[in-house]
Structure 1
């Protein structure tokens, strides 16, 4: 092929490519995205990140052959107010198909009014769905120890199912079910789950998350 013909060939090819661009590659390799918005429990405080429950959920998802990738958006010490401020950042420009909200424990320990925690959780869900209207949301409930007072602990416990109902989200009844207060499943601080405790936390979420993912993928 002569040089001018070669030049014309490449011009034609470039113009054709501009008119019919190749499909963009999905940043997650074609997989859908699950974002877990949480605090130190989600971040895996005191542990390797691969031992934290979001990474364990990923293993369960992979074993089930489901096309999802889990993003750990846990920040130690975070509150629902912090989650509300950073939800847009956590979701990123691509958003997510599923959001797990595992915040509120630090609110309770700081004595923040349950009504404010409820408002923040609702705001997180509203912001997330403004980006992705069809997003599935799981609210992972927390509970406070009795020494916080009966009135406070009661109102705190009630706010999570209320938010889930009001916002048509799924409820994980208690994130630390079977873990909170169990010495063998927590680190020396008796607050943060150890390796075995994180496995139990992952199981608690998976009970609610698995049917949602399978329903979305129409897996029996």
Structure 2
């Protein structure tokens, strides 16, 4: 078939346009794929957990939770830009036996640091000292058996001599004994500088005020800081 000369320019234009369109379409698709790949979200590193497991002292009885010492630890960590999440596992009135019974629920997520603050209510109720020690050991064993790499910190506690001086003295010895037996870090006395000071405790004389928790935070923080 003979093509008229007047039609040739149009055919050449059409052919060139199709080629350019085809090339341009492939380039666009390539760029889009690259953009999608580049803009894909990189999963953020999961925050490691610091679990404070205790009684009303940990829970922050009588004050806002963020003003209790675990909340102050979270605030300090946030200010440092570190990826740690503090979980406050405090429950008012909790004993070592009660803590042991509810521990599994808190161990659904692996704690990087586990701070054990229990026993004070045992002492105030005159629970047999051997029972308190046995429960503290069992809590540590349960954490360690499930998460061998978790760093465990035991908060030492003291009680007033309501149950007699001998009981009080023996109670105080439980914590260093447990810490030594299980090779965990010991905070000698959680309420150092706070216990017995009316200006730093609520009217019940047992639970710290916001100012008291600031001091407790100062006692606890160095033990957290050296592990993060």
- TM over 0.5: same fold? yes
Q: 2:63 aligns with which of 47, 66, 86?
A: 47
CA distance in 2, matches of 1:68, 1:166: 28
1:153 counterpart SS class: helix
CA distance in 2, matches of 1:149, 1:60: 40
Contact (CA 8 Å) 1:35, 1:91: kept in 2 or not? no
1:71 counterpart SS class: strand
Q: 1:84-141 deviations in whole A, cap 9, x for unaligned? A: 111111122x221110000110000000111111110010011111221111000001
Contact (CA 8 Å) 1:42, 1:54: kept in 2 or not? yes
Q: 1:143 aligns with which of 158, 172, 186?
A: 158
Alignment of 1:1-220 (within 5 A): 30-92=46-108, 94-213=109-228
By how many angstroms is 1:25 displaced? 6.0
CA distance in 1, matches of 2:76, 2:189: 20
Q: 1:150-172 deviations in whole A, cap 9, x for unaligned? A: 21111100010111111111001
> Which ranges in structure 1 are unaligned for 5 or more consecutive residues?
1-21, 214-220
1:97 counterpart SS class: strand
By how many angstroms is 1:24 displaced? 11
CA distance in 2, matches of 1:24, 1:150: 60
TM-score, reference length from structure 2 = 0.79
By how many angstroms is 1:66 displaced? 2.7
2:50 counterpart SS class: strand
By how many angstroms is 1:204 displaced? 1.0
| RMSD (Å), alpha carbons | 1.8
> Which ranges in structure 2 are unaligned for 5 or more consecutive residues?
1-39
TM-score, reference length from structure 1 = 0.81
